[in-house]
Amino acid sequence: MIEYAWLIPCFPLAAFLLIAAFGRDWREGGGWVAVIGSSLSFVFSIPVTVEALQGKTLELDHTWFTIGSFQFNLGIYVDTLTALMLVVVSTISLLIIIYSIGYMHREGVRKPRYYAEISLFIGAMLALVLANNYLELYIFWELVGLCSYLLIGFWFERPAAAAAGMKAFIVTRIGDLFFLFGLILLYTNFGTFNFLKLFGTVVGPEQAGLLRIITFLIFMGAVGKSAQFPLHIWLPDAMEGPSTVSALIHAATMVKAGVYLVARSYPLFVHSPPTMLLVAGIGGVTALFTATMALVNNDIKRILAFSTISQLGYMMLGLGASGYLVALGSATAAPGYSASMFHLLNHAFFKALLFLGAGAVMHGLHDELDIRRMGGLQRKMPITAATMLIAALAISGIPPFSGFWSKDAVLDATFAAGGQNWFIMLLWLFGVITVFLTAFYMFRWWFLVFGGRPRYEGEAHESPPIMTGPLAALAGFAAISGIALFGLPKFLHYGALHLVGAQELLGEVFINPLTYLSLILALGGILLAWVVYQREWFKWEAISTPWGRFLHRLLLNRYYLNDAYIGLARNGVYGFSIIVDLFDRYIIDGLVNGIGWGSRGLGQELRRTVSGFVGDYVAWIVGGIVIILLIYIFGGF
C-alpha cells in the first residue's frame, strides 16, 4: 500500500472539486462528501503507516516540466515522519469534519463554501507532508496559507474576522518570504530541491557559513507558520473563524506545518550549531512568553490559542536542544527529535479536543466567549465537561494522560543538552516554569467554564451525538496515545541520523527525579487554580497593588507587541511607502512623462515647418545644403 500513498491527498482534493461544483444541490452542502474524502484518506493512511513503521521507505519522482536546465519534479517521499503526519492529519481532520455536520448545521447557503475550503485545506496539508522536494512542499505550503486565510475570515462580513484573516495572511507571508529566499540560495548552491539528494550531500567547511544562512531562512518560514516569537501575533486573533477551523489549524494543519518543516530539514539543520541553538532559543522563549499571556485572558478560544503557541514552543525546544548536541558532534542520538514529534502527535489529540469542546460550549451557550460568564456547565453538559477534563489533564502533564509522556521527554532531552550549554539549561528552566503555568491556566479555564456556580444567562444544553461522538473519540486518544507507544520499539527513524525509540524514550520516566519535579509543579498549578477559581477563597484578579495592576495590564495587552507592530506599520512601513510612492511619482514617472512631454513639445514645434508650401521646403533644402557645406569647409574634411 505504501506505493499508493500518493492517493491520500487526492481524496479530499477531489471532494473540494465536487463540493465547489455541486455542493449547493447536496445535503448539508456537501458535508458528507467531505466526510467521505477524509475517511478514504484515513483508511489509506493506516496501512501506509504500518509499512513505514516496519522500516519501509518510498520515493516516487516524476518530471512535470523542464525550463532550460531547470527540471521541476513532482513526487512523494514516505518514511516514518511522513507516516506520523499522515495519521495525525487524516485522523484529526476526519473527526473535525464529522463534528462540523452538527456545528455548521445552521450556516445555510455558506456550507458548500465551508466544506469545499476545508477539504482543500486538508488535501493541501496531506500533499505538503508527502512532498519529496522543497519546491513542491513550498507550493502546498502557500496553498495551506491561502486556505487558512479563507477559513479564518469565513464570516467575512464581520470586520474582526476579515481583519484576522488578513493579519494571519500578512504575518505568515513575512516568514514565507524568508523561506523563499532560503530555497533560492539552496538551489543556486546545491543544484537540487530533492530531500534525499540534499540530505546525502557532504557539507564541507567552506559551505558551513552558507548553510547557516540557508537553515536560518528556512527556520524563519517555520517561525511564521507555527506562530513562534516574534511572529506569533496572528494566531490568537485567528479565533474569529469557526471553532472547527481553529481545531484544524491548531491540531492538524497550519501551525503543525512549521514544526514538520524543521523536523524534515533536520539533516540540514544539524550541520549548523548556531541554527539549532536559535531553534531551541525561539522555542523556549515562546513556550514561557505565551503561557504568561494565557493566565489573564478571558476568551474561551484565545486561551487555547496561547496554549497552542506555547506547546509548539516545546516542540521547537526539543528539536533545537537535542540537535545542538548532534551539530557539535558530542552526541550521535537525537532524543529531542523523537520527543518533539511524540509531543506533536499527543498535542494534536488533546488540542483538537479542547477546541471542539470550546465549540460545544459556544454552541450550548449561544456563542458566548467570555469564561467569566459561564460556570457550572458540568451539570448541563456532562459529556463535554468530562472530555474537557481529560484534555486539561493531558496538556497539564498529569499521568497517565498523553501530554505527560511527551512533555517530560522534551524536558529530559533539553536538560541533557543543557549540560553542554548554559543557555539551553536556561531554556530548560523556562520549560519547567511553563509546566506550572500551563496547569494553572488550563484549570482556571476548566473551573471557570464547567466548575463552580452558574454565571450565564438563559439555558445551556449538551451538543448532539454527532458532536459529542468526536469529542469522546479524541478523549480516548488523549488518554492512551502516550502509553500506547510503549509497544513500539522504534516509532521514528531518519536514515543515518540515530533517533531514540519509544521504549528508550519512555522506559526510564519514573526513575528520573526531574519527572517528579514536573509532576509536582503541574499538580501545584492545578491546586492553585482550584483554590482561586473553584473554591474562590480569594480573588486572583482583585490583587490591587500597583505592580499587580501593571502586570495584569501588561499580560492582558500581550506585552503591547500588537501596538508596537501597528506603530511600526504606521510610522515605519507606511512612511517608507509614502517616500517610495513620491519617488515613483516624481522621479520614475516624472522622468518617463518628461520625455513624453518633451517629445510632444518638440513635435508641436516641428509641425510648424510642415506648411505645405513648396517655397518653404526649397528654403529648408537650400539652408541644409549651406550648413553641410560650411561644416565640410571649416571642419577640415
Q: What is the mean pLDDT of residues 264-285?
A: 94
Q: What is the mean pLDDT of residues 151-155?
A: 92
**pLDDT class of 293 with cuts at 50, 70, 90:** very high
Q: Report the DSSP beta bridge partners of residue 67.
A: 70
Distance of alpha carbon 279 from alpha carbon 313, whole angstroms = 9
**pLDDT class of 499 with cuts at 50, 70, 90:** low
Instruction: Identify which of 122, 92, 136 has the alpha carbon closest to the alpha carbon of residue 471.
Output: 92
For residue 190, give the C-alpha cell.
546545491
**pLDDT class of 193 with cuts at 50, 70, 90:** very high
| Residue-wise pLDDT tens digits, 3-29 | 889 999 999 999 999 999 988 878 788
For the chain, domain boundaries: 564-634
Is pLDDT at 487 greater than 70 in this prediction? no
Is pLDDT at 320 greater than 90 in this prediction? yes
Crossing angle of the two packed helices 335-364 and 402-418, in degrees rounded to 10: 140
Is pLDDT at 418 greater than 60 in this prediction? yes
Which of residues 545 and 275 earns the better pLDDT score?
275
Residue 604 is predicted with a pLDDT of: 82
Q: What is the mean pLDDT of residues 159-179?
A: 92
Distance of alpha carbon 313 from alpha carbon 226, whole angstroms = 9
Residue 392 is predicted with a pLDDT of: 96
Q: What is the mean pLDDT of residues 348-366?
A: 93
For residue 588, give the C-alpha cell.
520614475
For residue 277, give the C-alpha cell.
541553538
For residue 388, give the C-alpha cell.
474537557
Is pLDDT at 67 greater than 90 in this prediction? no
The owner of cell 457550572 is 376
For residue 474, give the C-alpha cell.
479524541
* Per-chain mean pLDDT for the chain: 88
First to last CA, the chain: 89
Q: Spell out a b/e string for 457-476, using b for 16 or more CB atoms within 10 Å of the CB, else e.
A: eeebebbeeebbbbbebbbe
Rounded to 5 degrees, φ, ψ at 71 are -120, 120
Residue 575 is predicted with a pLDDT of: 79
Q: Spell out a b/e string for 286-310, using b for 16 or more CB atoms within 10 Å of the CB, else e.
A: bbbbbbbbbbbbbebbbbbbbbbbb
Beta carbons of 125 and 148 less than 8 angstroms apart: no
For residue 491, give the C-alpha cell.
516509532
Instruction: Identify which of 182, 433, 211 has the alpha carbon closest to the alpha carbon of residue 313.
Output: 433
CA neighbours closer than 13 Å in the CB half-sphere of residue 236: 23
Could you give the percent of the chain with pLDDT greater than 90?
Answer: 56
Distance of alpha carbon 468 from alpha carbon 357, whole angstroms = 9
Which of residues 505 and 95 earns the better pLDDT score?
95
- Positive or negative, the CA dihedral 526, 532, 533, 534 is positive
Beta carbons of 193 and 179 less than 8 angstroms apart: no
Distance of alpha carbon 157 from alpha carbon 155, whole angstroms = 6
Q: What is the mean pLDDT of residues 150-179?
A: 92
Distance of alpha carbon 306 from alpha carbon 300, whole angstroms = 11
Q: What is the mean pLDDT of residues 288-303?
A: 94
CA neighbours closer than 13 Å in the CB half-sphere of residue 563: 6
Distance of alpha carbon 427 from alpha carbon 420, whole angstroms = 13
Distance of alpha carbon 176 from alpha carbon 467, whole angstroms = 35
For residue 24, give the C-alpha cell.
449547493
Count, residues in the chain: 637
Is pLDDT at 168 greater than 60 in this prediction? yes
Residue 503 is predicted with a pLDDT of: 61
Instruction: Identify which of 365, 534, 598, 382 has the alpha carbon closest to the alpha carbon of residue 471.
Output: 382
| Rg, C-alpha atoms of the chain | 30
The owner of cell 548554559 is 422
DSSP 381-443: -HHHHHHHHHHHHHHHT-TTSHHHHHHHHHHHHHHHHHTT-HHHHHHHHHHHHHHHHHHHHHH
Q: Spell out a b/e string for 404-413, using b for 16 or more CB atoms within 10 Å of the CB, else e.
A: bbbbbbbbbb
**pLDDT class of 584 with cuts at 50, 70, 90:** confident
Determine which of 68-77, 341-350, 380-389, 412-421 has the lowest per-residue pLDDT on average. Answer: 68-77
Q: Report the DSSP beta bridge partners of residue 188.
A: none
Q: Which run of H or of E encompasses 342?
A: helix 335-364
Is pLDDT at 489 greater than 70 in this prediction? no
Which of residues 615 and 57 earns the better pLDDT score?
57
Residue 544 is predicted with a pLDDT of: 66
Residue 232 is predicted with a pLDDT of: 92
Beta carbons of 114 and 29 less than 8 angstroms apart: yes
**pLDDT class of 490 with cuts at 50, 70, 90:** low
**pLDDT class of 222 with cuts at 50, 70, 90:** very high
Is pLDDT at 616 greater than 80 in this prediction? no
| Residue-wise pLDDT tens digits, 513-558 | 888 999 999 999 999 999 999 887 776 555 667 788 888 889 988 9
